[in-house]
Chain A
Amino acid sequence: MTPPLLEVRDLHVDIPMPYGRLHAVRGVSLSVDIAESVGLVGESGSGKSLTLRALLGLLPRPARIVSGTILIDGEDVTGLSAKQLKRRLTDTMSMIFQDSLTALNPVMRVGDQIAEVPLRKLGKSRSEAKAIAVGLMREVGIADPERRYQLYPHELSGGMRQRICIAIALSTKPRLILADEPTTALDVTIQAQVLGVLRQLKQEEQVGLLLVSHDLAVVSQTCSRLYVMYAGKVVESGDLVDLVTAPRHPYTFSLLRSVPDPDKRVARLLTIDGRPPDLTDPVTGCSFAPRCPFAEDACREAEPELAPAGSARLSACRRVDTAQRWTAMVEQEVSQEAVSRQ
C-alpha cells in the first residue's frame, strides 16, 4: 500500500499568552492520500487554520509547534534541517489564503507574480515563464489571460484575484494544495465558480486538496473525506457522505442541524448553547460535554479519545453507540419544549 501523501501525527500548537499558554491544537492527526481532497471543518477558535498553517511553517507569531510529526510519502521530515524541511514542504504543497488582496503583491503585475516561481525556482527563461503563467491563468478559468497578465491586483474583482492566487499556488507544480477558507470572502455566485475551479483541478490535474472551512456545505462540494475539529482536537472523521448523513459525534450532529437549509424552511433551528472551552485552562472531560444534549456524568470526567466508529470512521464520543437515537432524542425535547411554552 502506498503511504499517504501527507500525514500529520499528534500535532500540538501553543500560543503563549500574558496569562498562560493557550493550547490551540491539542494532538491532531490527519492524512491526505495522493490526489485526495479532504476537508477540515470547525468553528472559529477550533484550531483548524493553525493546523493548516503549522504544516507549511506559516504559524503567526507567537504561536509555535510544541510537538508533532509530519510525514511526506511516509518519510518523517520533522528531523530535517530547517532549510531542507522548507524545501521539502514547498516542493510538495502550496497554499491559498482567504483574503486574496493581502496575499498578493499590490505593486506587481498579477501575471509576473504567477511567473515568479517558474522564473526564479524552476529556471525558466522570461518568455517561457510568461507562457507558463498565461497557461495557468487559462487553466483557472480567466478569460483573456494575455490582457489580464498586465493588470495589478486592485484592478481585478475578488473572484479573479482568488483565481490568480490559485494559479500562483499551481505554479510550483504542487501535489497538494492547502486552502484556508478560500471562498469565504466571495459572493455566492463567485464562490460557486471558484469551487468549480478547485473541483476541476482535482479531476484533471490529480492535485490533492486540504480545505479548511467553517462551512460544511462548501466542504461537501469539493471534498470526499472530512475531519471535524472542536476545541483543538479532531472529534470525528470519515467519508463525507457517511459523516453528513449519519454523524457519530454530537458536535457534528448539532452543527448539521443548526445550518440553515436554502431549500427548506424549518420552524426553529437547533441551537448549541454555551461556547467552546477556554483552552488556556486544562480541559477535563469531553470538551463538548458542557454543550452536549446527550452528555452524561462520565463524559465530564475523562476526555474521550478518537476511536473507530464504523468503516473508516473515527469518533471521540463515549456515547457513540446511541447515535442512531440522537435525532429522536432531540425531537422529543423540542416537542416537549413546545408543549411547555403553550
Chain B
Amino acid sequence: MTTGNEILSVHGLARHFTAHVSVVERLFGTKPAVSRAVDGVDLVLRKGETLGLVGESGCGKSTLARTIVGLYQPSAGEIRYDGKALPAKRTRAQQRAIQMVFQDPYSSLNPRMTVEQMLSELLRFHNLVPRNRVHERTRELMHLVGLPERALGQRPRQFSGGQRQRVGIARALALEPSVLLADEPVSALDVSVQATIINLLAELKETLNLSMIFVSHNMAVVRQVGDRTAVMYSGRIVETGNTDTLFDDPVHPYTRLLIGSVPRLVTVEGPARASEGASEDRAAVRAEVARAVARDGTQACRFADRCPSVVAGCAVEPALLADPGDPNRWAACVHVAHRSEGAIR
C-alpha cells in the first residue's frame, strides 16, 4: 500500500484463538478448534486522518483493534508505529501513543474510583506532568471533553451514558496519545447523545492533531466520521477506500450488500436489498467452487457462500489489490481485476 505520511501500519496481522481441549480429548488426539478472528490484515493509518473500520459482528474488527492497542499479542504479522515495528513488550511511551476508547464506558471504568482518582493515577504512573500540576491537568481534561469540573469528584455510576463516554475519552486522552482507537464508542448510546460524542471526537481529532481508527458496525456513523473506510469480513479487509467513493460506488459485493442493507428513512423502495432469492440462482456455481476447493485444497474467498456475484474463480482467495481506476481503493475480489473491462456491474 502507499507509504509516506503514515503513523501506524499493520502488516499481515493475525490473531487466532484456540479453544480449550480437555485432557481426555487430548488423549484421543483431538486437535483444538482454532478461531481465526483476525487472519492476515494489512492496514495503513495516515497522520491526522480518521479511518473507519466496519463489519458485522464476529468479523474480527474489535479483535483487530485490541491487537493494535496491545491488549492481545498478535499470532503473526507486525504492527509498525511511526516507522518502527512494535515489540511484543511495548515501552511505556509506546503504550501511551496508542490509546483506546471502549464501547461500554461503564464496564471499562473503575466503579469505586472518582474521575479525579482515575485520571491522576494515570498521570502519576506515566509521569506526564509534575506532581503539583496533576490536579490542574485533570481539570484541563474535563474542559477538553466538555464536562464540568465538579465531575472530577464523581464516580462512574453518577454519570449518564454520554457523560460516561466522555470520561472514557478523557481517560484515553490523559496519556496524550497520537493514535486513538475508538471501538464502537457510540453503539451503547441513544441517537441524540450519539451525535454529541461523534462531534466531540471529530473536534478533538482536529484540536489535538490525532489520528483515529473508528471501529463500528454502524455504516451511517462511519460515513460521518471516516476520511477513509475499511470493510472487514471474516478476519480480513475486503475493501478500503475514501469514505465518500466507497459508499457511493462500492466495488466489493460484500460492501455493496452492507451498504444496501442499511435501513433508510422513508424510502419508496430502497436500493438493492439483501435478498436470498439471488443466492439460489448461484447454487450451481457455489457447488462448483466447493468441488474445486475439495480437489485443489485451496482456501476459497470467504464471502463466496453468500456472494451474489460468485464465479468459479472464487475457489481461490483473492488478494487485496488496488483498483485500476482509483489508487486509493483496494479490494479483495476476483471481479476487481476485471473491473476496468466492466465485468462486475
Contacts and interface: CB of A to CB of B under 8 A. Distances in A.
B223 A265 contact: yes
Interface residues of A, number: 42
B266 A262 contact: no
B35 interface: no
Given A143-B276, A260-B224, A188 B192 contact: no
Interface in B247-281: 247, 257-267, 270, 273-276
Contacts of B217: 187-188
B57 interface: yes
B23 interface: no
B263 A240 contact: no
A215 B265 CA distance: 10
Interface of B is mostly: helix
B190 A44 contact: yes
A268 interface: yes
A102 to B, nearest CB: 17
A193 B192 contact: no
Given A271-B199, A272-B192, A191 B263 contact: yes
A31 interface: no
A266 interface: yes
A191 B264 CA distance: 12
A298 interface: no
B287 interface: no
B196 A271 contact: yes
A218 interface: yes
Contacts of A43: 190-192
A329 to B, nearest CB: 18
B199 A268 contact: yes
A293 B333 CA distance: 48
B244 interface: yes
A143 B276 CA distance: 10
B261 A191 contact: yes
Interface in B224-263: 224, 243-244, 247, 257-263
A335 interface: no
B224 A258 contact: no
Q: Which of B191, B193, B258 has the most CB of A within 10 A?
A: B191
B144 interface: no
B190 A214 contact: yes
B220 A271 contact: no
A258 B264 contact: no
Contacts of B198: 260, 269
B67 interface: no
A29 interface: no
Contact of A192 (B243, B244, B266, B274): B274
Contacts of A215: 191, 263
Nearest to A195: B263
B293 interface: no
Given A188-B217, A189-B274, A262 B247 contact: yes
Interface string A259-285: 111111110111111010000000000
Q: Which of B192, B223, B224, B244 has the most CB of A within 10 A?
A: B192
A241 B264 contact: no
Given A221-B267, A260-B223, A262-B219, A192 B276 contact: no
Given A241-B266, A262-B264, 17 more contacts: A43-B190, A44-B190, A143-B276, A188-B262, A188-B263, A191-B261, A217-B265, A218-B263, A220-B263, A221-B267, A221-B270, A255-B192, A259-B220, A262-B247, A265-B223, A269-B199, A275-B160
Interface of B: 56-57, 160, 162, 190-196, 198-199, 202, 217-221, 223-224, 243-244, 247, 257-267, 270, 273-276
Q: Which 5 A-B pairs have the closest CB atoms?
A: A272-B192, A269-B195, A192-B261, A187-B56, A217-B263
19 contacts: A43-B192, A187-B57, A188-B263, A189-B257, A192-B260, A192-B273, A193-B274, A193-B276, A196-B273, A220-B266, A255-B192, A258-B195, A260-B221, A260-B223, A260-B224, A261-B223, A262-B220, A262-B264, A269-B198
